[in-house]
């Protein structure tokens, strides 16, 4: 970690993220619009004086992560939904990240509780010198005890300035990784659990992107959209709907054409919705923390 790392800023980003997550749980209700929920959560973060670290993820049932509504999205929460809410606030280059699951069905309490239990047990292990495989083993043991599976190709991560998924991967099972946590390191632990295969694959929907590089395009619209992204989001992830909201409903075609142009130029990273391979139900829990000598300080609290 850099010696000039601003821990007060990361803690502020974490606190706002946590407050937004608490707020989000109140807007996820049967019959409510998923698009309106996302917009309200994002507005909450910005009214707290922060920016978005990434578009709010509202992933339902077999979708594990990366679902954010499209422009004009008509999807509504239904009675049987298991909803993962993943939010992150940004203060300057410092990033918050946390997630919870809301069970609107009332039928998946065990799955949700397993994630929460695993997260707390994993946090109790965090200290400088701890091997990340130990954290993964604890998460996996709790899943097995409950007769479900951790999702093995998702996990927690380091958090650094301007980089939400940095330095270290925190597995959800014992993957044999002997990497040791370091004092002062910022990490997020992120159990995902399922009654399915224990793996996710890329789905067809993609509404979250990240631009890295200049768009030397012959199209004026593409250059205009590129300049707006650079000014507004820099290299942070953004949602397609944010661009359409900016340029107007009639602009959706030119926005998507610009994204295609960025992809052709090799300067666009996409984040497809991640779907449980066998269609299993998925739950998620996540907190962010600072590693200390003998424990950790949770900052999304």
Eight-class DSSP state of 67? -
Is the four-CA dihedral 186, 118, 204, 169 of positive or negative sign? positive
Question: What whole-number distance in Å separates Cα of residue 163 and Cα of residue 156?
Answer: 13
3-state secondary structure of 173: coil
**Residue numbers annotated as active site:** 86, 97, 157, 165, 190, 286
Nearest to 157 by CA among 142, 143, 172: 172
Element holding 144 (H helix, E strand): helix 132-145
Question: What whole-number distance in Å separates Cα of residue 109 and Cα of residue 201?
Answer: 25
Eight-class DSSP state of 172? S
Largest alpha-carbon pair distance within the chain?
Answer: 58
Rounded to a whole number of angstroms, the distance between the first and last alpha carbons of the chain is 22
């Amino acid at each position: 970690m850099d010696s000039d790392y601003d821990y007060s800023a990361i803690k502020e980003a974490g606190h706002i993220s946590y407050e937004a997550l608490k707020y989000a749980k109140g807007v996820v209700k049967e019959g409510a619009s998923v698009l309106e929920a996302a917009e309200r959560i994002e507005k909450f973060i910005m009214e707290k004086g922060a920016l978005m670290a990434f578009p709010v993820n509202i992933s339902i049932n077999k979708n594990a992560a990366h679902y954010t509504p499209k422009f004009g999205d008509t999807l509504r929460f239904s009675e049987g939904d298991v909803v993962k809410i993943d939010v992150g606030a940004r203060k300057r280059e410092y990033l918050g990240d946390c997630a919870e699951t809301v069970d609107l069905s009332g039928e998946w309490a065990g799955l949700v509780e397993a994630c929460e239990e695993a997260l707390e047990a994993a946090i109790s292990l965090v200290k400088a010198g701890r091997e990340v495989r130990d954290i993964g083993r604890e998460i996996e043991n709790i899943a097995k005890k409950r007769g479900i599976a951790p999702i093995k190709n998702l996990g927690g991560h380091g958090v650094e300035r301007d980089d939400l998924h940095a330095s270290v991967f925190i597995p959800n099972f014992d993957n044999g990784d002997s990497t040791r946590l370091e004092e002062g390191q910022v990490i997020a632990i992120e159990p995902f659990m399922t009654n399915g295969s224990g793996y996710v694959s890329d789905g067809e929907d993609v509404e979250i992107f990240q631009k890295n590089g200049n768009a030397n395009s012959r199209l004026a619209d593409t250059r205009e959209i590129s300049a707006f992204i650079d000014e507004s989001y820099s290299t942070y992830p953004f949602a397609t709907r944010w661009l359409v909201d900016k340029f107007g409903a009639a602009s959706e075609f030119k926005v998507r054409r610009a994204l295609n142009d960025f992809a052709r130029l090799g300067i666009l990273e996409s984040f497809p919705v991640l779907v449980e391979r066998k269609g299993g139900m998925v739950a998620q829990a996540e907190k962010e923390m600072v590693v200390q000598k003998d424990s950790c300080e949770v900052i999304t609290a």
